[in-house]
Amino acid sequence: MEATKAVNFHRKDALVVSTSFALREWSQVSARRDLDVDLFDCMDRAPAVGLGLALAQPGGKVLVLDCDSTLRTNLGGLATIGESNPENLVHFVFDDVSSSSTSGVRIKEMDNLDLAQIALSSGYAKTYEFDKLEEFLIGLEEVMRQTGPVFVRVKVFRDGIQLPFPERSMAEGWAEVRDLLTSGE
């Protein structure tokens, strides 16, 4: 959860799209839930939703909080983002080294995927990889200054505690974000 707390500290007025375990953590720490898009039943679509928001709101930063397990189910989203080249998009992937999303079972073949290299060869402007929380905390300010699309892989260890999903529905969250964006605030 410390990694998501750090993103919250640096987010300012960025729109945030989150899913899966990242959503569960994010909903606990976000200081601007009115700018958060929560994805419950379409977990592998976070990059696509983030891309749509980034293209529709080119004047503001859009952060995607993704997980390695959900990204691996739709790697094509990386190519779509790279081709679209949204300068305001930062795509965070929380790489769960504890394999809690698969009940602790490692999927060996998936460990060989270099997600940052795939993002770079798909057209992302810059990629970062952080193996330790301390490195991430130090490097996050630089990440947020970059022109995107930016891909950031952060290794995290989940302690097995299952945080709840947010209480508001996905539709309520979308409505709240839409209302804020259309109000001109």
Q: What is the number of structural domains in the chain?
A: 1
Predicted confidence at residue 175, as pLDDT, reads 73
Quick one: pLDDT band at residue 103, thresholds 50, 70, 90? very low
C-beta of residue 80 within 8 angstroms of C-beta of residue 142:
no
97-114 mean pLDDT: 58
CA distance 113 to 116: 9
Pairing of the two strands 89-96 and 36-39: unpaired
pLDDT digits (tens, 9 = 90+) for 55-93: 999 999 999 999 888 888 889 899 999 999 999 999 999
Range of the structural domain that residue 160 is part of: 2-183
Q: How far apart, in Å, are the Cα atoms of 171 and each of 2, 23, 52, 87?
A: 28, 15, 17, 27
pTM here? 0.85
Q: Quick one: which H or E segment has residue 181?
A: helix 170-183
In this prediction, residue 67 carries a pLDDT of 84
Average pLDDT of span 6-25? 89
Whichever domain contains 91, its CATH number is 3.40.50.970
pLDDT surpassing 90 at residue 38: no
CB-CB contact of 15 with 53 (8 Å)? yes
> Looking at residues 100-115, what average pLDDT do you find?
61
Separation CA 1–CA 121 (nearest Å)? 29
Q: Which residue has the higher pLDDT, 169 or 148?
A: 148
For residue 127, report the phi and psi dihedrals to the nearest 5 degrees: -130, 150
The average pLDDT across 20-33 equals: 84
